[in-house]
Amino acid sequence: AVPASAPWEIDAIETPWRRNALDLDLTPALPALVNQFWRARGKETDAERLLAEPAHWGTVDYHAAEETRGLDSTLDWTLDCGGRVDGLYVWFDGEVDTGLGFSNSPLLPELQYGRAFFPLEHPVDVHAGDRMQTRLSVRRMLDNWVFRWDTRITDAASVTKASFKQSTFRMQPEDLALLRKSDASHAPVLAEDGQIRLMVLSMMDGQHSLSDIANVLLARHPKQFRNFEMALAEAASCSRRFG
């Protein structure tokens, strides 16, 4: 990963969300925009746009016995030149076999896999000798991978110029409700889908046909099942899976 001055990567954020011809205040939408990363442009980046030497984030070994659970590392740069830092380019150098590999560095034309750009909450003017630290992590949460990048930029005298805490978790408010439902102290109540499944399973007693079950479903849950065929399909699905 490397800090970069890349205004073309954040142009879709700058306009119209920070400035626009209609002079509208669209900044309330910014938290949703700056807490995500995206595929960087395919064209190679000029070397002078990279403000420091790349730092190694971590290694993913596809030959390892255990699946990678995530990466978490604090990256530290002393900036080689001044300018405006807009975010981080993140990529990987792959090794297929000894001496055989490839790279999707921002200094090279894009390969099939592409590379990522992680924006800062807002651009920061920097000078050569400034220090930038980013704790970059990715963790699996439920069915998603959640990325986090916490950044602090200081000058040569260690005075803080900017500090940000960003995470793709902020883009997923629905996951917060799912996390609450996963807490050990949570007392769950069956939603309608659960009530339907419970009713079907309770009628799978060797006494009721699928038609019987479908008719009950149709009578009790008319909003879920618009006709007999839909109700029968649900009953048959449970029969195949649990019968």
Question: Is the pLDDT score of 233 beyond 90?
Answer: yes
pLDDT computed for residue 209 by the predictor:
96
What pLDDT, on a 0 to 100 scale, did the predictor assign at position 166? Answer: 96
Measure Cα distances from 112 to 92, 103, 104, 189 in Å: 12, 11, 9, 46
3-state helix, strand, coil in the chain (%, to 5): 30, 30, 40
The type of residue at 221 is H
Q: Is the pLDDT of residue 185 over 80?
A: yes
For residue 112, what pLDDT is reported? 74
What pLDDT digit, counting tens, does each position of 80-131 carry? Answer: 999 999 999 999 998 888 888 889 999 998 877 889 999 999 999 999 999 9
Q: Residues 127-178: pLDDT tens digits?
A: 999 999 999 999 987 778 899 999 999 999 999 999 999 999 876 555 566 6
Could you report the per-residue pLDDT of 43-92, keeping only the tens digit for each?
999 999 999 999 999 998 877 766 677 899 999 999 999 999 999 999 99
Is beta strand 93-97 parallel, antiparallel or unpaired with respect to 38-39? unpaired
Q: How far is CA 67 from CA 33, 137, 164, in A?
A: 30, 16, 30
Cβ 216 vs Cβ 203: under 8 Å: yes
Q: pTM to 2 decimals?
A: 0.71
2 φ/ψ sector (left φ>0, alpha ψ -120 to 50, else beta)? beta
- Predicted confidence at residue 141, as pLDDT, reads 78
CB atoms within 10 A of CB 57: 20
Side chain identity at 222, as an amino acid letter?
P
CA distance 72 to 89: 16
**43 CB burial (10 A radius; 0-12, 13-18, 19+):** exposed
